[in-house]
Amino acid sequence: MNREFFCRRILERSIRQFVLCSLLFTGCLHTPYAIEKPIVDMEGFVSVYERYQEDCPYFVHKGINWIEIMEDYYTEATLCENEDELAEVVGDMLAELHDPVIRLEKRVWIGMELVLVDSILPYVQEYDVNYSMDVLEEEYLEQYGWAGWEEGYVGGFGWCDPALLPYMFMNRIPSSGADMDSLDAFIAECIELDLPAVIVDIRMNPTGRVDGMTGICGKEFNGRFAAKTYKGAISRTRSGSGYDQYYDIHSTFFPSGPAQFTGTVILLVGENCCRAAENMAASFMNFPNVVLVGETTRGSVSSYNNCLFTDSWKARVIYRTLLTNDKVWIEGNGIPADHIVEATEADFAAGIDPVLDYAIEMLEASTGFANGME
């Protein structure tokens, strides 16, 4: 019986039976004494393994053999003497997935409060940013009616005077209340000025749960730039025990808010964009009035639940990912810009933002809008 056939047969059994059989199989590869009685309770290790075995959607896409990974770390886990050591081994096992979203946290009760006392980030993804906030503020925005860090900076975004430069900065998605009121005020002014295009800059948005773009928050924002109903990115989850069995659900975006800006949206993106920002880009790319400028996004779009695997440690369990409307995986790939524009530290040192310069040139060339920038 070859290993591939063995693994397929194992997958047909219950998760609990699979774990026990695979561990016995590992032991038989060596000696009957290869796996000793664990010092710590191994139920936590097994529970993390099982949750990923049931839920993780990208094993096939990433070429991951989850069975072998578990086997590689099980014996090490049996040698742990306390839950902190076990958490380190679980973290090492999850690092094999190369997913920067995964995190382990230890929380303990101190008085009446549950306090975070330790955390493990198994995989750290290296990336470059293609913007400098100092350059943006000092060399560009402040001279164009920038309502940034004061009254205009509401809910994580600000803007320039649309009559001078129709530009919006956003480091998180506006959601409700004063956030949306400020967004609507910007859109209303752009419509009143009859502007054919605006610049929306999300290069500085590295955070936010992917779920935010499929909920009311993201749909309300994107919907303010929708002329009609559009399909967004595909949400992919597992639908069975097979690693390649999926549910695919399309997000749908409707016109929202008191008014919609339906002219051209020049969306500035880069490697700093992940998760909610990538979901925004993946949905916006289906809008015929949106064009992406900058560099490829980071390719980190996992959604997660939590699994408590010791008395105080929990791990994030990946259960959902995103694909483009054309069923291209975003995880590990990112979303390429329609117009690739590189920006370097040398550019920033010289007080230049090539990405914004390119967007402004597009604005002027394609729409005839004159903002007076020299």
Residue 12 lies in a domain: yes
Q: Which pTM was predicted?
A: 0.84
| Secondary structure (H, E, C), 158-171 | EECCCCCCCEEEEC
Same structural domain, 139 and 287: yes
pLDDT in tens, 148-205: 544 444 445 678 889 899 998 877 676 666 777 878 888 999 999 999 999 999 998 7
Indicate left, alpha or beta for 122 from its phi (over 0: left) and psi (-120 to 50: alpha): alpha
Residue 372 lies in a domain: no
Instruction: Indicate the average pLDDT of the chain.
Output: 83
pLDDT in tens, 310-360: 999 999 999 999 999 999 999 999 999 999 999 999 999 999 999 999 999
Q: Where are the beta strands (DSSP E) in the chain?
A: 104-110, 113-120, 157-159, 167-170, 197-201, 230-238, 246-253, 264-269, 290-294, 303-308, 313-323, 339-340
pLDDT at residue number 215: 45
pLDDT in tens, 61-87: 999 999 999 999 999 999 999 999 999
Same structural domain, 47 and 189: no
The residue among 80, 99, 118 that closes a domain is: 99
Q: What percent of the chain has pLDDT over 70?
A: 79
The residue among 46, 76, 99 that closes a domain is: 99
For 119-145, what is the mean pLDDT?
90
Q: What's the number of domains the chain is made of?
A: 2
For 234-248, what is the mean pLDDT?
94
| Strand partners of residue 290 | 265
pLDDT in tens, 166-182: 998 877 676 666 777 87
Same structural domain, 10 and 95: yes
Residue 116 lies in a domain: no
Residue 374 scores a pLDDT above 60: no
Residue 3 scores a pLDDT above 80: no
Residue whose token pair is 């053999």? 65
pLDDT at residue number 175: 66
| Strand partners of residue 158 | 169
